[in-house]
């Protein structure tokens, strides 16, 4: 029974006042808009409006997919595969909107559901990445290359902000103790702005893996430090494994080891899809966390 299945899903992931449409409208809405854009693309496929734009630099032209510089979309497969980021971004924003409306939110036993600002932050970061990467591969221009690159940083910073909040849920200021959610959210926004204006110039092949590793290390520190939480840990492991597979495929594509330039199946496009999957799994992992009371903790330790 689908309704019963969704009820169980709601219980497992703290989706108290949510309905299936929280997932369906981002998916179908994105597909409908994409269908309209695809028709527009086919009608103007051999128009090149990007010739006067500054071209992207670095490894922009080294992906396996054939670059169609005389067309509206330079790398079609690598472009359309970014729709996944937009779908999950809209899902996170939709969830955050419902979380914010929930009248018993203060009593929810999940930090991501209790503080929807983090879902907004992660959701809008995913949207920014999806749109930036879509336009980057469509145009191979320098401006959208910057959006694509900073979008990856934005999303990592958003997730790291939530992890740091879990590590340090309270801050002391002038003798008073405050919940630190707003501090970490606004700090993340400031860091994102720094990436957009300045830090994006740093070597991405060093900085991005460093931030990614930092994210998973911070999670393992949390798991070791916080003993009174219960979560579906397999989701985090699946997220990490999916990301490793995606990175391997990215390398095979950029080095032309897994390459068929004119095929609709592209390694870099698969990188986008696997990244989307990894992001969604990581978010579900955080939604699955609940915290034990002292009595529940004592019972769990004796079992």
- Note the pLDDT tens digit of each residue in 263-273: 999 999 999 99
Question: How confident is the model at residue 292, as a pLDDT?
Answer: 54
Question: How confident is the model at residue 6, as a pLDDT?
Answer: 87
125, 126, 132, 135 alpha-carbon torsion, rounded to 10°: -160
Q: Under a CB-based contact definition with an 8 Å cutoff, are residues 91 and 22 in contact?
A: yes
**pLDDT tens digit string along 31-70?**
999 999 999 999 999 999 999 999 999 889 999 999 999 9
Of 72, 83, 79, the closest CA to residue 33 belongs to 83
Q: Give the C-alpha separation, 199 to 213, whole Å.
A: 18
Q: What are the boundaries of each domain within the chain? A: 2-302
Residues of the chain scoring pLDDT < 70 = 1-4, 226-228, 292-303
Identify any residues that bridge with 178 across adjacent strands, giving them in sequence order. Answer: 171
Task: Identify the residue whose tokens are 């497992």.
Answer: 12
Angle formed by the axes of helices 117-139 and 267-287, to 10°?
A: 180
Question: How confident is the model at residue 119, as a pLDDT?
Answer: 98
- Beta carbons within 10 angstroms of residue 133's beta carbon: 25
Identify any residues that bridge with 171 across adjacent strands, giving them in sequence order. Answer: 178
Pairing verdict, β 176-179 and 170-173: antiparallel
* Secondary structure (H, E, C), the chain: CHHHHHHHHHHHCCCCCCCCHHHHHHHHHHHHHHHHHHHHHHHCCCCCCCCCCCECCCCCCCCCCCCCCCCCCCCHHHHHCCHHHHHHHHHHHHHHHHHHHCCCHHHCCCHHHHCCHHHHHHHHHHHHHHHHHHHHHHHCEHHHHHHHHHHHHHHHHHHHHHHHHHHCCEEEECCEEEECHHHHHHHHHHHHHHHHHCHHHCCHHHHHHHHHHHHHHHHHHHHHHCCCEECCHHHHHHHHHHHHHHHHHHHHHHCCCCCCCCCCCCHHHHHHHHHHHHHHHHHHHHHCCEECCHHHHHHHHHC
Percent of the chain with pLDDT over 70: 93
Question: How confident is the model at residue 301, as a pLDDT?
Answer: 40
Residue 293 sits at the vertex; the CA angle it makes with 179 and 298, to the nearest 5 degrees, is: 135
pTM: 0.91
Distance of CA 36 to the CA centre of its chain: 25
Alpha-carbon distances of 86 from 57, 83, 141, 216, rounded to whole Å: 25, 5, 20, 23
Question: How confident is the model at residue 295, as a pLDDT?
Answer: 43
Question: How confident is the model at residue 297, as a pLDDT?
Answer: 41
Question: How confident is the model at residue 302, as a pLDDT?
Answer: 39
């Amino acid at each position: 029974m689908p309704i019963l299945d969704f009820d169980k899903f709601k219980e497992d992931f703290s989706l108290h006042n949510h309905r299936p449409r929280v997932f369906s409208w981002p998916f179908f809405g994105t597909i409908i808009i994409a269908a309209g854009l695809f028709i527009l693309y086919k009608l103007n496929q051999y128009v090149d409006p990007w010739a006067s734009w500054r071209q992207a630099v670095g490894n922009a032209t080294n992906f396996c997919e054939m670059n169609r510089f005389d067309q509206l979309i330079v790398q079609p497969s690598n472009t359309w595969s970014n729709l996944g980021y937009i779908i999950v971004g809209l899902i996170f924003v939709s969830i955050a909107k419902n979380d914010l409306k929930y009248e018993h939110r203060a009593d929810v036993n999940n930090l991501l559901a209790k503080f929807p600002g983090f879902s907004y932050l992660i959701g809008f970061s995913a949207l920014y990445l999806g749109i930036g990467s879509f336009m980057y591969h469509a145009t191979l221009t320098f401006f959208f290359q910057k959006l694509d690159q900073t979008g990856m940083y934005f999303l990592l910073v958003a997730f790291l902000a939530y992890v740091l909040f879990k590590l340090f849920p309270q801050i002391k200021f002038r003798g008073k103790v405050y919940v630190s959610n707003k501090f970490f959210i606004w700090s993340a926004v400031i860091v994102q702005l720094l990436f957009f204006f300045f830090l994006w110039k740093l070597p991405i092949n060093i900085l991005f893996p460093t931030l990614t590793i930092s994210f998973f290390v911070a999670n393992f520190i949390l798991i070791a430090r916080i003993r009174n939480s219960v979560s579906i840990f397999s989701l985090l492991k699946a997220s990490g494994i999916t990301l490793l597979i995606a990175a391997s495929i990215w390398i095979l594509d950029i080095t032309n080891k897994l390459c068929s330039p004119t095929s609709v199946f592209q390694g870099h496009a698969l990188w986008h899809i696997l990244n989307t999957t990894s992001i969604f799994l990581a978010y579900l992992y955080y939604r699955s966390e609940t915290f034990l009371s002292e009595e529940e903790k004592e019972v769990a330790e004796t079992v």
